[in-house]
Amino acid sequence: MSEPILEMTDVSKRYRAAGGFGRGRKGFLAVDGVSLHVERGEALGLVGESGSGKSTLARMANGLVVPTSGTVRTDGQDIARLSRRGLRRLRRNVAMVFQDPLASLNPRQTVRQTLENVFRAHGETTSTAELAALLESVGPGADYLGRYPHEASGGQLQRVAVARALALKPALIIADEPTSALDVSVRAQILNLLADLQRDQGISFLHVSHDLAVIRLYSDRVAVMQRGRIVETGPSDEIFRSPQHPCTRALVEATPEAELPA
Amino acid sequence: MSIAEIQQAEGRGTPALGRFLRKRSVLGRFFRKRSGVAGLAMLVVPLVAGLCAPLLVRIEGQDPSTLHTDLLNPDGGRPLGAFGGVSADHWLGVVPVTGVDLFAQIVYGIRSSLFIAFGASILSIAFAAVLGTATGYFGGWLNAVAGRVIDFMFGFPGLMFVIAIMAIVPPEMPRGLVLVLVLAFFGWTVPARIIGAQAGAINARAFVEAARATGAPPWQIIRREMLPHLFGLVVVLFAMSLPGNVSVVAGLSFLGVGLRGDVPDLGKLLSDSLPWIYSGADVWYMLFPGAVVFLIVFGATLAGDALRDVLDVRTEDAA
């Protein structure tokens, strides 16, 4: 079996308290000795309540957050050993979709400029036809190229953000709560889009969410985080059917669909 | 959809036209603000007069150095005639004792005062923009060091220092240039702190993190993501630093540590006119140059305020 796309071994992240001089100011341990892996083509769901460290953990996969200790191997490379250039090159293969598209897209750039900048970052140029095809592959028509973020709906914007992630044909996409800022009516559409990408293009996913129902439907495996640690991990259906850890049980019970008849 | 159709749709959709309208609307809103237009006029009229000084003086039929002693009262050197000797030949009268044409002195004086104020403002704001953006983007030790240097400069009696420096500048050095440099040296601190704070806030926004996640290099992030959001602030800070520098230049010349004696200068005119207003012998000598300094400073302040409101620097992108 080939090497996992993402492999984290015993990673921790401690945020130092501001102006942290003197003893007794140990800061805040956001991630505490976590190990996890994502196989190629797999979608791993990372669930946990707010502040459990799941976003911090996800950002270690592409070097946006540098772990205090432990090793992160992404796409076969030890992130700590990469140069700045190497890290930038790695980010070609590891894209990211953020929570709120209105915040993660520059309000002063048209969709076209946003997409062009992704190619520019790696010294590439693109044609209008390529950009149009990229955008159409995730939904919005080519006429969106000329729009500014405030001129499109949240759902269409998140599709633009997905197009940005897909631009460089990544092997892994980190989706950090990709639907929690969207209207309920468009959530399923975005999630289906991401699921299609996993199935049709073999892209791996690290899907962060606080919503276990979402994770269950769209992830092969689930890891449950609480206070910086992974407390339970396993195949989605199994976790959902027989949660072991009290934290997981609480999350399952908080999921409305659990009470619906099958 | 063909490429032609896409481009057509895009053209209709917004970019070229949309951005034009957007800029237009900033200007449009500025010109709808009466205080802004009035301020701009108060700034532009003396500015143009200064730029066209030789032409205007030639139209008047005078020059800034000829002595017209025939127009002075031989007893005390007071200009003859009403309003300090205003006449068709001398639009703003003549200077007491020497009889030099006051209009020519003032328009040439605007030249030197504004040249120095503009130079100092451009230099200090440019430096503040570069430093502020760098501290906002890189943060860390650079931010810490720059912050302490700015604190130090805050505690420094800048104006005293400027006066002291200007008093000991060797006569062979170009005083105008020295003034520009010295004023710029003390003018960058507050703008640098403001721009640095704003750049740091932008650096923390999600779209910058998103750009970083795509593997964009630092320069691209600064140039394409951050600078467009800082531009309005920089323009406003420039507009607001200008009146301060104009009045400091005038003040320094007033104290006798500004430009050299033979260079016409607004502050020097004010300084020279002081005894004449004390004695009440020639009020007009101070009134005309004083009004011009007031116009420039007041105009630049009004225009800067209006520009800040229009660009709405504090709440930009809120919509």
A15-29, A54-68, B15-29, B116-130 — which is least confidently predicted? B15-29
Q: Which of A112, A122, A143 lies closest to B215 in CB terms?
A: A122
CB A63 within 8 A of CB A90: yes
To the nearest 10°, the Cα dihedral for A57, A116, B22, B45? Answer: 100
pLDDT in tens, B142-195: 999 999 999 999 888 888 888 998 888 888 888 889 999 999 999 999 999 999
Question: In terms of Cα–Cα distance, which of B64, B76, B136 is closest to B103?
Answer: B64
Question: Which domains does chain B possess?
Answer: 107-268+285-311 (1.10.3720.10)
Averaged pLDDT, A118-131: 91
Chain B contacts to A (CB-CB under 8 A):
1, 3, 5-7, 9-15, 18, 205-207, 209-217, 220, 224-225, 228-229, 317, 319
Separation between Cα atoms, residue B297 and residue B283, nearest integer Å: 21
Range of the domain at A207: 6-17+26-259
Asked if residue A88 lies in contact with residue B215, where contact means CB atoms within 8 angstroms, the answer is yes
- What's this model's pTM, rounded to 2 decimal places? 0.80
Residue-wise pLDDT for A146-166, tens only, equals 888 988 888 899 999 999 999
Pull the structure tokens for residue B236.
Answer: 């406003």
| H-only helix segments in chain B | 3-13, 15-32, 34-51, 53-60, 102-138, 140-154, 158-168, 175-187, 189-203, 206-213, 218-220, 227-254, 266-278, 284-311
Q: Report the alpha-carbon distance of residue B176 to residue B116 in Å, rounded.
A: 6
Chain B environment of A88 (Cβ under 8 Å): 215-217
Which of A65, A74, A104, A137 would best serve as a mutation to test chain B binding (most B beta carbons within 10 A)?
A: A104
For chain B, say whether A90 makes contact (Cβ under 8 Å). Answer: yes
CB-closest option in A95, A103, A168 to B205: A103
Number of domains forming the structure of chain A: 1
A vs B, Cβ pairs < 8 A, gives 110
Per residue in A175-205, pLDDT (tens digit) is: 999 988 888 888 888 999 999 999 999 999 9
Contact state of A117 with B216 under an 8 Å Cβ cutoff: yes
Q: Is the pLDDT of residue B12 over 50?
A: no
- What mean pLDDT value characterizes chain B? 83
**CATH code of the domain containing A250:** 3.40.50.300
B319 CB neighbours in chain A (<8 A) are 150
- Cα separation, B31 vs B27, in Å, equals 6
Tell me the C-alpha distance between B121 and B133, whole Å: 18
Pick the residue with more confidence: A198 or A247? A198
CA–CA min distance B19, chain A (Å):
10
pLDDT of residue B4: 61
Residues of chain B in contact with residue A122, where contact means CB-CB under 8 angstroms, are: 215
What pLDDT does B14 receive? 45
A164 touches chain B (CB under 8 A): yes
The answer to the question of residue A1 being in a domain is no
Indicate if the pLDDT at residue A207 is higher than 50: yes
A132 interaction partners in chain B (CB closer than 8 Å): 1, 3, 6
Interface predicted TM-score of the whole assembly (ipTM), two decimals: 0.89
Closest CA to B7 of A75, A128, A53, A155: A128
